[in-house]
Structure 1
Amino acid sequence: MDFFQYKNNQLMAENLLVSQIVKEYGTPAYIYSKATLVRHWNAFNDALGEHPHLICFAVKSNPNIAILNIMATLGSGFDIVSQGELERVLVAGGDPKKVVFSGVAKSVTEITRALEVGIRCFNVESLSELYRINDIAKKLGKKAPISLRVNPDVDAHTHPYISTGLKENKFGVTVERAREVYNIAKQLEYIEIEGLDCHIGSQLTELQPFLDATDRLVILIKQLEQDGIQLKHLDLGGGLGVTYTDEKAPLPSEYAKTIFEKLKGYENLEIILEPGRAITANAGILVTKVEYLKTNEERHFAIVDAGMNDMLRPALYQAYMNIIEVDRSLERETRIYDVVGPICETSDFLGKQRQLAIAEGDFIAQRSAGAYGASMASNYNSRPLAIEIMVDDDKSHLIKRRASFEELWRLEALVK
């Protein structure tokens, strides 16, 4: 459930009219609902109940510091993939002791900084990375806490660009080699083995891939016990899907129930989950203004002021996201439109063949835009990024202003 609903044919963000918000702040604009973010995070936290656990919000899904601060206030941990994300978490009030550091290409600078602030754990993705972390920890005189990210070779049945658990993917160490790498880690003086990590992909709408992966991880855990390696936690990553249109994604409570069944005998093993999309996707919308309506012999086009630089998912993944009118009380002719933006690319669209009752000057909203929307945006075509607004009940807060044109080239310099 989210808190973007119609009231008297007017789209509401909690208890504010979306039309009034964008008239005040302008478009294109990302609008987030605090109540939805809190509800979705609590759904994961409550699902694991009294079992030892830590919910680590995947920062890459939406790194705005206002959202990170909400997560920190809830007691959330954080899953990061760069130093920049780490610095954002710290600025937002996040606890470094609740940070897990994922990613295949951690640099010396990133590892050093993470050790200095005392993060919870590195999710190690290769033997070379393991050696690098040990060397840096030695120089700093610290023990580096690690988990090994294991690739279980499980098909997540999702888009190939967001599938991460097959042998052909760049992520993690194969499950066949994991035992050997753990035993190497056991011998390294400045490495502290904490747990086991796995993430097989994103936007999973069925539980079976999770179950298959967990089965393989349990086998590995038992093998490690035979080697005298006792794990403290099992990090099962993120990936639980959301409803963009008519998907029937499992609830966090259903997911947790299946995890507990697979981990009988390991009731003291802490579970770490890394949800991102499942928390943020339906907690945000992208609102855009219809600049022109255009018709050619084949198609009707709604040309809007938001483009693929603001929302890349449809162009990159062919992602389908619902597009709706902000004000349905207006008398408008209903037509089938391709909703396209101002970017000079044929791939610049928010949605194709959508039934809308709109006129020039109207506002429309792309739903489920809270994840991988603003976080993947760019200044392509020298366009300032969309603003970001947080709604809390009947109040709105500008949490990211629109850059001036001068700020777009502030870091650039002429050659004299």
Structure 2
Amino acid sequence: MHHFAYRDGALFAEDVDLREIADKVGTPVYVYSSATIERHYRLYEAAMASTAPGKPAHVFYAMKANSNLGVLKTLAALGAGADTVSEGEIRKALAAGFPASKIVFSGVGKAESELAFAVEAGIYQVNIETEGELDLLSKVAQRLGKRQEAVFRVNPDIGAGGHAKITTGSSANKFGVSFEEVHRLYARAANMAGVRIMGLAVHIGSQIREVDAFEAAYTKMRDLVLALRAEGHRVDRLDLGGGLGIPYEVPKDFDHGPGLIEAYAGMVAKLMQGLDAELGFEPGRLIVGNAGILLTKVLHLNPRPTKEFLVVDAAMNDLMRPAMYEAYHEIWPVAEPAEGAKTIAYDVVGPICESGDTFTAGRELSALKPGDLIAFMTAGAYGASMSSTYNQRPLVAEVLVKGDKFAVTRPRQTYEELIGTDRAPPWLP
């Protein structure tokens, strides 16, 4: 479930009226619910704990979904680990309170300087994705007088996901080492002075709403663990990645119950029974997706003979998902519509000078006017984290709600800050 609901004719985030946030912070603004983040994490953690009795089940939150400091601190306080994909994410995870011993470093293109920072920080695990990275990590760790624990991310040639751009497990994708190469690489790594190879990792995609593809990939991974052990190798860890999806078409009485999570956990527990390995999980969207909204204000109406445009102050630079993935987001007016209120089919668009700056076409909404507030629902994942300053628009503000309190956790970028990041070449006045 999420904690956004109508109360006394207005949309609230927990116990905070969204109109108050719009008045004090301005729009567009992302608003996150602490209660939703906490509920989803606890539900997921409890389910994963049942998958490997007697062995730890590590939950590493995938920071790329939402790296807001308030969100990160909320999850760190709950005991989560962090799945990172850059030095910047490692640094932010540490700043948010995640211990280095709970940080995983993933990603297909790790630079030498990034690996050096990760090794010096003493992170839990590096997920190796290429033979070149294996050699580089060993060299870096030896130079620093350390032996870094690592696993091989394996590409199972089983891709899944809600869109081609978020499918990562196919052989056509850039991620991981192939099944054909992993035996040779594991044997090489076992004899390296700078790497202590601990096991395997896999991640097949994102926004997956059924367990069949996971089961097929995990079956291959289980068999690979057993085959490597038969060759005399130590395989203590199996990182199963993330990718469980969430519903984006969310009715107002929606309760995000544990059905999919329980089905996934049950499948993992059955498949991994007797494997005697520490399991790792990397959820992102599942934890924060329904926990956030993008609050925006109607600027103009632009009626045409065949359609009506609703122009809002949020744009594709603030919420990229519809333009990039043709993604769907529910749109709720902040003022609760009256029963049986007139609806109009709107094309909801932003101010960016591109036709692609369209959030939805022909969406039936209650009649709106300039100054009205609307909320793009289920925007807590891959919203603010993918935002940009395209068209020289300042980065959007972010707010975290806790009960009847709220705090700005990322102020809206000022124009002075935006322009101040540039430097003129010395030969120009």
Shift of 1:333: 4.3
Ranges in structure 1 where 5+ consecutive residues have no aligned partner: none
Which amino acid in the other structure matches residue 314 of structure 1?
P
Deviations 1:87-126 (A, max 9, x none): 1011111111111100011001100000001000000000
Q: Percent identity?
A: 41
Using the TM superposition, give the Cα deviation of residue 329 of structure 1 relative to its aligned residue in structure 2, in angstroms.
4.8
What is the SS of the residue equivalent to 2:143? helix
Q: 1:70 aligns with which of 70, 74, 92?
A: 74
1:17 is aligned to 2:17: yes
Residue 181 (structure 1) shift: 1.1
1:401 is aligned to 411
Q: Does 1:294 align with 2:298?
A: no
Q: C-alpha deviations, 1:170-216, integer Å up to 9, x for none?
A: 00011222111111111212210112100000000110000000110
Cα offset for 1:228?
1.4
2:254 aligned with 1:269, yes or no?
no
Greater shift in the superposed pair: 382-391 or 44-53: 44-53
Instruction: Give me the whole-angstrom Cα distance separating, in 2, the residues matched to 1:260 and 1:330.
Output: 47
Moved more, 176-185 or 97-106: 176-185
Residue number among 149, 153, 156 corresponding to 1:152 in the alignment: 156
Instruction: Output the TM-score relative to the length of structure 1.
Output: 0.97
1:139 CA drift (Å):
0.6
CA distance in 2, matches of 1:395, 1:413: 39
Distance 1:373 1:400 in 2: 14
CA offsets 1:35-78 (integer angstroms, 9 cap, x no match): 00001111111002353211100000001111111111011100
2:316 corresponds to:
308
Q: Distance in 2 between matches of 1:340 and 1:208?
A: 37
User: Which residue identity lines up with residue 213 of structure 1 in the other structure?
Assistant: A
- Where does 1:83-122 land on structure 2 (aligned, <5 Å)? 83-122=87-126
**Partners of 1:207 and 1:250 within 8 A in 2:** no
Of 204, 209, 214, 1:205 maps to 209
Corresponding residue of 1:229: 233
Q: Which residue is 1:367 aligned to?
A: 377
Alignment of 1:2-401 (within 5 A): 2-49=2-49, 51=53, 52-245=56-249, 251-266=260-275, 268-329=276-337, 333-357=342-366, 358-401=368-411
CA distance in 1, matches of 2:87, 2:157: 28
Cα distance, 1:250 vs structure 2: 5.2
The 1:81/1:269 distance shift into structure 2, 3 A limit, reads: same
Q: Give the CA deviation at 1:330.
A: 6.8
- The alignment's TM-score, normalised by the length of structure 2, stands at 0.94
- Report the CA distance between 1:157 and its aligned residue: 4.8
Q: Residue 190 of structure 2 aligns to a residue in which SS?
A: helix
1:86–1:10 CA distance, 2 compared to 1 (3 A)? same
Cα distance in 2, alignment partners of residues 330 and 18 from structure 1: 18
- Report the Cα distance in structure 2 between the residues aligned to 1:206 and 1:334, rounded to whole angstroms: 34
The DSSP-based 3-state class of the residue aligned with 2:162 is coil
The number of aligned residues is: 415
- Alpha-carbon distance in 2 for matches of 1:299, 1:20: 32
| Backbone CA RMSD of aligned residues | 1.6
Contact 1:300 1:338 in 2 (8 A): yes
Structure 2 distance, partners of 1:379, 1:49, is 41
Unaligned runs of 5+ in 2: none
Q: Given the alignment of the two structures, is residue 411 of structure 1 paired with residue 421 of structure 2, yes or no?
A: yes
Shift of 1:411: 2.3
Distance 2:69 2:122 in 1: 20
1:216 and 1:348 map into 2 onto residues whose CA distance is 42
Secondary structure of the 1:251 match is helix
Q: Output the amino acid matched with 1:393.
A: G
